[in-house]
Amino acid sequence: MEKSIRVKNVSKKYKLYKNKKEQLLDVVTRKSYGQDFYALANIDFEAEKGDVVGFIGINGSGKSTLSNIIAGIVPETTGTVEVNGDAALIAVSAGLKGDLTGRENIELKCLMLGFSKKEIKNMEDDIIEFSELGEFIDQPVKSYSSGMKSRLGFAISVTVDPDILIIDEALSVGDKTFAEKSLAKMKQFKEKGKTMIFVSHSIAQVKQFCEKILWLEYGTVKDFGTVEEVMPKYEKFIRQWRKMSKAERETYKQEADKRKKKFLK
């Protein structure tokens, strides 16, 4: 099988600062300030061409960080990422410039993807129609609601027809009809054999749409396999997690952080 995405030993380190002063000192002096925080620790993950993979995990587990790295929006700190083809990320406001209008954003995004002016003109109407933004298309994006931004981002990404589509929670904002329309479009992509990554908190949507699951937990891979293998374990975990008190969740997180440190060695 042809590999579409190859993520090897990828870690992402952020620096956490107590205040602005500490951050500034870290930049301007030789001494290191702030605390290292690993949003991802030695992640290995591969997708074959045509795979539809759901990224799941509780808040802060690294789903968005990993999808941004695969999309080439955020650089990895260490490790390697190989992506075979063009990847487009759809997330709330991903890559949209607030000062530009919706229409200008369409043009900019398509130009950056290498389309000619003529091709863009041809795609523009389809994008505007899919986005359902009507006359708002000529208003600056900063005046849009998160649902409107998501609709515009989704419309652009599906119309430019990328090889790899990464959808990060884009369906959780906006209305139900748009989510259904988007899901139908994503099904078409799936039928065309495109590789897709779907980041979602909705167990129902992941079950409906994905074939494989990458379960992340505090920056590490908890499990990877088919939906049938992984989802029952995740659902069991989520039931337990919901019953945990704040203190129990903190203890759980500390244990997970200890495991993460081992991964980093």
Ligand X SMILES: Nc1ncnc2c1ncn2[C@@H]1O[C@H](COP(=O)(O)OP(=O)(O)OP(=O)(O)O)[C@@H](O)[C@H]1O
64 contributes a contact to ligand X by CB under 6 A = yes
Stretch that binds ligand X, among 52-60, 93-101, 177-185, 248-256 (CB under 6 A): 52-60
140 torsion bin: left (phi>0), alpha (psi -120 to 50), beta (else): beta
* Distance in angstroms (rounded) separating the CA atoms of residues 39 and 60: 8
Query: Among residues 106, 143, 100, which one has the least CA distance to residue 126?
Result: 106
* Residue choice 5, 10, 39, 43 for contact with ligand X (CB under 6 A): 39
DSSP one-letter string for 92-129:
TTTT--TTSBHHHHHHHHHHHTT--HHHHHHHHHHHHH
Radius of gyration, alpha carbons of the chain: 20
157 contributes a contact to ligand X by CB under 6 A = no
- 65 close to 126: Cβ distance less than 8 angstroms: no
For the chain, report the end-to-end CA distance as a whole number of angstroms: 32
Neighbours of 229 (CB within 10 A): 12
162 contributes a contact to ligand X by CB under 6 A = no
174 contributes a contact to ligand X by CB under 6 A = no
Buried b (16+ CB within 10 A) or exposed e, 167-189: bbbbbbbbeeebbebbeebbeeb
34 contributes a contact to ligand X by CB under 6 A = no
63 contributes a contact to ligand X by CB under 6 A = yes
Closest separation in Å from C-beta 169 to ligand X: 7
Closest separation in Å from C-beta 33 to ligand X: 15
59 contributes a contact to ligand X by CB under 6 A = yes
Closest separation in Å from C-beta 222 to ligand X: 12
* Residue choice 57, 102, 153, 162 for contact with ligand X (CB under 6 A): 57
Stretch that binds ligand X, among 56-64, 127-135, 178-186, 231-239 (CB under 6 A): 56-64
Closest separation in Å from C-beta 197 to ligand X: 12
* Residue choice 62, 102, 153, 174 for contact with ligand X (CB under 6 A): 62
Query: Among residues 41, 36, 39, 32, which one has the least CA distance to residue 15?
Result: 36
* Residue choice 3, 8, 14, 202 for contact with ligand X (CB under 6 A): 14
Closest separation in Å from C-beta 75 to ligand X: 12
Stretch that binds ligand X, among 63-71, 80-88, 113-121, 142-150 (CB under 6 A): 63-71
Whichever of 136 and 218 has its CB closer to ligand X, that residue is 218
* Residue choice 6, 8, 34, 60 for contact with ligand X (CB under 6 A): 60
Torsion of CA 96, 98, 100, 103, to 10 degrees: 50
Whichever of 130 and 234 has its CB closer to ligand X, that residue is 234
Stretch that binds ligand X, among 57-65, 109-117, 120-128, 183-191 (CB under 6 A): 57-65
Query: Among residues 150, 108, 103, which one has the least CA distance to residue 127?
Result: 103
Q: Which position has the token pair 């487009």?
A: 88
Instruction: Report the interface residues with ligand X, using CB under 6 A.
Output: 14, 37, 39, 57, 59-65
